[in-house]
Amino acid sequence: MHGTVARRALGGLVPPKIASPKLLSGASPSGSGPLAPLVAFYYKLPKGPAPTPAIRGLKARFFSGKNASATPVLGLIGGVFLVGYTLDYQLHLKHHKNNAHLN
């Protein structure tokens, strides 16, 4: 594997200002070690599983999680049918009620 490919692939794992080549090469005169800033950075990161996000929006409420169901989709289909039939009746079908347009 080429060096540039490895650097590009692993570049997001280690922050560049903490793990610089100057810091990683050679020992420091102080007893803390050359990787002390890197260890301090990773020590401050949160540990354990990530907290569950708060439920927001219709998609999260009805289609994700333990209460997922198809009820909103079926309600939408039924609502579109009712509105469409009502419009069709009012604009066209009520004129055929008394045998209009028969020739």
**Tokens in use for 55?**
């439920």
Helices within 1-103 (DSSP H only) = 3-10, 21-24, 36-44, 57-58, 71-91
Confidence of residue 26 (pLDDT cuts 50, 70, 90): low
User: Measured between alpha carbons, how far is 55 from 65 in angstroms, rounded to an integer?
Assistant: 9
**Tokens in use for 40?**
């301090």
pLDDT top residue among 56 and 6:
56
pLDDT tens for residues 38-48? 788 888 888 88
Could you give the 3-state DSSP secondary structure of residue 96? helix
pLDDT score of 86:
93
User: Measured between alpha carbons, how far is 35 from 95 in angstroms, rounded to an integer?
Assistant: 85
The full set of domain ranges for the chain reads 3-44, 57-96
0.85 cut: is pTM over it? Answer: no
Assess contact for 28 and 20: CB atoms under 8 A. Answer: no
pLDDT tens for residues 63-83? 777 778 888 889 999 999 999
